Amino acid sequence: MCSRQIARSLSRALMSRPFTPSVNIARLKESATLAVAAKARSLRAQGIPVIDLGAGEPDFDTPAFIREAAAAAVEAGATRYTATEGIPALREAIAADANRLLPSGAEPFTGAQVVVSNGSKQSLYNACVACFGPGDEVLVPTPSWTSYYEMLELARATAVPVFGTAAQGLKVTAEQLAAAATPRTRGLMLNSPCNPTGAVYTRAELDAILSLADQHGWWVISDEIYLRIAYDAPATSVLQCAPARDRLILINGVAKAYAMTGWRIGWSIAPLEVTRAMIAVQSHTTSNPAAVSQHAALAALTRVDDANAAIDAMVRAFHRRRDAVLEALGAARALAVHPAGAFYLYLDVSSFGGDDPGARFSAALLDAHQVAVVPGSAFLTPSWIRASYATTEAIAVDGVQRMVRLLAAGA
Ligand code: GLU
């Protein structure tokens, strides 16, 4: 064999070696919520009429005034890089939007504290890697959105699930958090209204949790992406609780309330030094979010009356669906967390038995009834399943009726 042949066969041998994931991602799991959405799409593409209650994505179109602003921005040249942290006008508009929630007399946020990102998911990731690292423990009220656990894993920190009880709508109390804390606890993830349960923390519950975090100097990462989507009463933001804000990172975005999932615009508001750290992270990973999307978000946040009218109409529709799916549940309603916000129904299917009743129920529901839902194991609570009613009322009710039939039939 000549040396060139030897080199070629060596490089072929190297290429055929199995991939060993790096230590960074060795334990990382793919997003279960996105995986269910992908599966539903692929079954539909094969002609199977799946009812998709998996994805947490509003079925509404982005309001017309936002789409028009985006089209005008492209024509006006919004096609280039922007500053990593976003265009100044949007950063200011985001600060102004948050300032509306602050108690009177509180020092307002400025645009300099804002980092605009490719969706609140990126902002949550930026915050986790900026604040936490190896040896740090972070309390995660559980069930929580699947990506919190994995983002903390990517930050090489330790997610410490703190389980809520069914009697308290799976919310956690300050006492439970205190009991789970150790000297290594560095922070806490908050999310109200909650994905996956739809539970909403009261002002008193948030006050108690924030004051505990303040006493211990914990970082609080508050994901308020569902804040505007609440039914029984307006949801409380941590900003209304007037906490010490030197350890608070507020996360929000336009995806859910403004029906702008595909535009990928989220943001963080944080103390300046944390903001600088998150800008550095983002500067080396994605740079700025899409210029056109930033202009769309700018219209959403600055044309306040138009936006409020659009959001109110969408929330009224979600509210009707929430009521309709609760009615469709009938007696099985006793198995659900009361969905006071977001657009999820969280249902106890432990009657299906086994180690992972939620996975058994979800698989049977898809096979026998063509309804896609997310197994609760994605949120570390395998006895449950999550169904999203961010779809038409008729489809949501049809899907829930099929769930009820399966529950009645048993495993
Ligand atoms: N947040 C939504 C959900 O939980 C969208 C999918 C995702 O990013 O997880 O379904």
Ligand 1 centroid–CA 376 distance in Å is: 14
Give me the residues paired with residue 371 across strands.
Answer: 51
Using a cut of 0.75, tell me whether the model's pTM lies above it.
Answer: yes
Please tell me whether residues 336 and 255 are part of one structural domain.
Answer: no
Note the pLDDT tens digit of each residue in 238-289.
999 966 899 999 999 999 999 999 999 999 999 999 999 999 999 999 999 9
Residue with the nearest Cα to atom 1 of ligand 1?
Answer: 56
- pLDDT band (50, 70, 90) for residue 410: confident
Ligand 1 centroid–CA 213 distance in Å is: 27
Evaluate if residue 54 carries a pLDDT over 70. yes
Ligand 1 centroid–CA 251 distance in Å is: 15
Residue with the nearest Cα to atom 2 of ligand 1?
Answer: 56
Q: What is the pLDDT of residue 374?
A: 97
Domain membership of residue 35 as a residue range: 29-56+307-409
DSSP codes joined into one string, 67-133: HHHHHHHHHTT--S---TT--HHHHHHHHHHHHTTSPTTSPPP-GGGEEEESSHHHHHHHHHHHH--
Pocket test for ligand 1, best of 57, 117, 125, 388 (most atoms within 8 A of CB): 57
Distance CA 151, CA 163 (A): 19
Kindly state whether residue 6 falls inside one of the protein's structural domains. Answer: no
Please tell me whether residues 88 and 44 are part of one structural domain.
Answer: no
Evaluate if residue 11 carries a pLDDT over 70. no
Domain boundary among 302, 319, 335: 302
Closest CA to 298 of 272, 265, 268: 265
Q: Cβ(69)–Cβ(299) under 8 Å?
A: yes
Domain boundary among 283, 302, 321: 302
pLDDT, average across residues 82-87: 98
Residue spans of beta strands (DSSP E) within 226-295: 248-253, 266-269
Question: How many structural domains is the chain composed of?
Answer: 2
Please tell me whether residues 102 and 236 are part of one structural domain.
Answer: yes
Residue with the nearest Cα to atom 9 of ligand 1?
Answer: 33
Evaluate if residue 9 carries a pLDDT over 90. no
Note the pLDDT tens digit of each residue in 172-184.
999 999 999 999 9
Residues with CB under 6 A from ligand 1: 31, 33-34, 55-57, 121, 145, 147, 195
- pLDDT band (50, 70, 90) for residue 411: confident
Residue with tokens 């991602």: 25
Domain boundary among 278, 302, 326: 302
Ligand 1 centroid–CA 316 distance in Å is: 21
Count the alpha carbons within 13 Å of 382 in the hemisphere toward its beta carbon.
8
Please tell me whether residues 311 and 293 are part of one structural domain.
Answer: no
Q: Which residues contact 150 (CB under 8 A, 6 or more apart)?
A: 28, 29, 31
Ligand 1 centroid–CA 141 distance in Å is: 17
Kindly state whether residue 69 falls inside one of the protein's structural domains. Answer: no
Q: What is the pLDDT of residue 369?
A: 95
Residue with the nearest Cα to atom 5 of ligand 1?
Answer: 56
Kindly state whether residue 8 falls inside one of the protein's structural domains. Answer: no
Note the pLDDT tens digit of each residue in 112-149.
999 999 999 999 999 999 999 999 999 999 999 999 99
- DSSP state, 34? H
Please tell me whether residues 258 and 326 are part of one structural domain.
Answer: no
Q: Cβ(189)–Cβ(157) under 8 Å?
A: no
Q: Which residues contact 330 (CB under 8 A, 6 or more apart)?
A: 404
Ligand 1 centroid–CA 311 distance in Å is: 19
Q: Cβ(393)–Cβ(381) under 8 Å?
A: no
Please tell me whether residues 88 and 176 are part of one structural domain.
Answer: yes
Pocket test for ligand 1, best of 30, 34, 53, 59 (most atoms within 8 A of CB): 34
Kindly state whether residue 198 falls inside one of the protein's structural domains. Answer: yes
**Of the ranges 15-19, 206-210, 366-370, 397-401, which one carries the lowest mean pLDDT score?**
15-19
Residue with the nearest Cα to atom 4 of ligand 1?
Answer: 56
- pLDDT band (50, 70, 90) for residue 158: very high
The encoded tokens of residue 258 equal 């403004």
Please tell me whether residues 183 and 217 are part of one structural domain.
Answer: yes
Q: What is the pLDDT of residue 10?
A: 65
Distance CA 240, CA 69 (A): 31
- pLDDT band (50, 70, 90) for residue 359: very high
CATH code for position 355: 3.90.1150.10
Task: Give the position, in ligand 1's atom list, of the atom nearest the Cα of 145.
Answer: 4
Ligand 1 centroid–CA 199 distance in Å is: 16
Q: Cβ(290)–Cβ(86) under 8 Å?
A: no
pLDDT, average across residues 340-368: 95
Please tell me whether residues 169 and 272 are part of one structural domain.
Answer: yes
Closest CA to 188 of 125, 236, 141: 141
Please tell me whether residues 112 and 126 are part of one structural domain.
Answer: yes
State the sign of the Cα–Cα–Cα–Cα dihedral 306, 308, 312, 314. positive
Ligand 1 centroid–CA 88 distance in Å is: 28
Residue with the nearest Cα to atom 10 of ligand 1?
Answer: 56
Distance CA 344, CA 53 (A): 9
CATH code for position 283: 3.40.640.10
Closest CA to 338 of 147, 197, 234: 197
Please tell me whether residues 262 and 148 are part of one structural domain.
Answer: yes
Q: What percent of the chain has pLDDT over 90?
A: 89
- pLDDT band (50, 70, 90) for residue 1: low
Please tell me whether residues 186 and 256 are part of one structural domain.
Answer: yes
- pLDDT band (50, 70, 90) for residue 383: very high
Please tell me whether residues 135 and 45 are part of one structural domain.
Answer: no
Kindly state whether residue 67 falls inside one of the protein's structural domains. Answer: no
The encoded tokens of residue 85 equal 């942290």
Kindly state whether residue 93 falls inside one of the protein's structural domains. Answer: yes
Mean pLDDT estimate for the chain = 95
Report the side by side order of strands in the sheet with 344-348.
Answer: 344-348, 384-388, 374-375
- pLDDT band (50, 70, 90) for residue 5: confident
Ligand 1 centroid–CA 183 distance in Å is: 32
Q: Cβ(293)–Cβ(264) under 8 Å?
A: yes
Residue with the nearest Cα to atom 3 of ligand 1?
Answer: 56
Distance CA 194, CA 345 (A): 11
For the CA atoms of 118, 119, 123, 129, the dihedral, rounded to the nearest 10 degrees, stands at: -70
Q: What is the pLDDT of residue 59?
A: 97
Q: What is the pLDDT of residue 14?
A: 62
Kindly state whether residue 12 falls inside one of the protein's structural domains. Answer: no
Distance CA 370, CA 49 (A): 7
Pocket test for ligand 1, best of 30, 33, 144 (most atoms within 8 A of CB): 33
Ligand 1 centroid–CA 187 distance in Å is: 23
For residue 347, give Cα distances in angstroms to 131, 202, 272, 342: 34, 21, 41, 15
Closest CA to 140 of 25, 247, 221, 55: 221
Kindly state whether residue 292 falls inside one of the protein's structural domains. Answer: yes
Q: What is the pLDDT of residue 8?
A: 74
- pLDDT band (50, 70, 90) for residue 2: low
Closest CA to 348 of 357, 359, 332, 335: 335
pLDDT, average across residues 325-341: 97
For the CA atoms of 117, 122, 127, 129, the dihedral, rounded to the nearest 10 degrees, stands at: -130
Task: Give the position, in ligand 1's atom list, of the atom nearest the Cα of 121.
Answer: 8
Q: What is the pLDDT of residue 288?
A: 98
